[in-house]
Structure 1
Amino acid sequence: MNNELRKMLEQVRAGELSVDEALGRIRTEPYRDIGYAKVDLHRKVRQGSTEVIYGAGKTPEQMAGIIEALRESGQNTVLITRLFAEAATELDGRIDGLTYHEQARVGIVGTVPEPDGLGTIVIATGGTSDIPVAEEAALTAEVEGNRVLRLYDVGVAGLHRTLSHMDDLMSATVVVAVAGMEGALPSVLGGLVDCPVIAVPTSVGYGASFGGIAALLSMLNSCASGVSVVNIDNGFGAGFLASRINHMKAKGFGASESSGGSRASEVPESSEISKE
């Protein structure tokens, strides 16, 4: 059960919202067909996160129409990824409240919410050339309600730079490691920290890097435990996954005041588990 639906049910229980009002919200059209797009209006109810616009291939007019539909449904903040500068300029003339981050090719409509995750997501890069992908991950995580700490240019070519940030790394709930070339950074971090590491291979590197394939294969073959890998240059996917991990307790996993304990305590003592 996601936070939004839980909050609505708690309002009903507290008498702050009538049953009919709650039913009205749930029955709202699950998507809006605007011709060129079917805008998902129930994604936050289902998943706790609102729909994100992938800007590449969409015209500014189409993006403006999608944003309008999302705003009318009550979505205050809209994230647009892979938004190129020319399209951003035209889109800015069609809608209000757009902030464009050119390096990350990310547009944010509205205000970034206050962090409500469990802790801090650390975004680390092997080099300065990896920052555009890292910024896509960082901005995605911030829009999803997370505290983000950026550690840039801490690659293995100068390991002392990495080790000088051990306190920050060890305090992280999730680490997103962004690297090109041979993609060694996630393995190093995976051997140091006690939290999940999300590896992001980038297309940065010389000829034999094959546009990020070398880094991707290195990360997939990491000998460090607790390292997962997303696609080449997929900063958005890494930032979104990091947010999911950083919100796990908020979604009801682990200790809960309302339940008096963890979900494990809900399993009846008579339940039999095969030991084979």
Structure 2
Amino acid sequence: MARRVLVVDDEREIRTVLRAYLEADGNVVSEADTGAEALNRILATDGTAPDLVLLDIRLPDLDGLEVLRTLRRTSDVYVILVTARAEEADTLIGLATGADDYITKPFSPREVAARVRTVLRRMRDDAAPPGAAADDHVLRFAGLTLDEQRRELVVDGREIILSTLEFDLLHALAASPGRVFSRAQLLEEVWGYDFYGDERVVDVHIRGVRRALGDDAADPRIIGTVRGVGYKFLLRPEEGR
């Protein structure tokens, strides 16, 4: 099924090039050149809302980060930030706000298309495939259940909502409890391609996961920090999982 992608950028040339590459991949592509127009399209209720948004940070009306903050109040649409700014703070703020990925200008349109394919592969299924065993994709620990197929996380009887990458990051750790992952290993495991950005994006997402879980970094129960190396999942699997 074709996915809908919205390209938000005030430069027509960039929108045109990206549209050509994304349509060549079979996506249905629309465009917006302002933050206000982007919000209208993303929050549309007529069935035309996009599955993924390529969102430029610099827009003529609303800052792209403000657009993202507004979206995250009501929408979990996939968002890839596009920025020409040199400051790393913008990228880290965007990831902390709920962006799924980021790309820095100047970029290769082929790279953008590859990033979009990677994120869209994470599209959430509303139900398990027919015939799939219910427990095939479920990880169970004391007080925590992680269902990969349904993209559901339950902690102490309460469902916890994570962003796409936060869920994938937690699942990567939980699938190998006790194993220490370096940041580079987590980038490869979760992002799924050669990542040329700052490895601190892992730290940003770990903080988001901990915040959602109520896990204290100073005295963790679920995700431990291995100083100078990376992270590990602390809970032990329930018997028979």
Tell which structure's C-alpha radius of gyration is larger. Answer: 1
When normalised by structure 2's length, the TM-score is 0.44
Q: Larger % of strand: which?
A: 2
Higher helix share: 1
TM-score, normalised on structure 1?
0.39
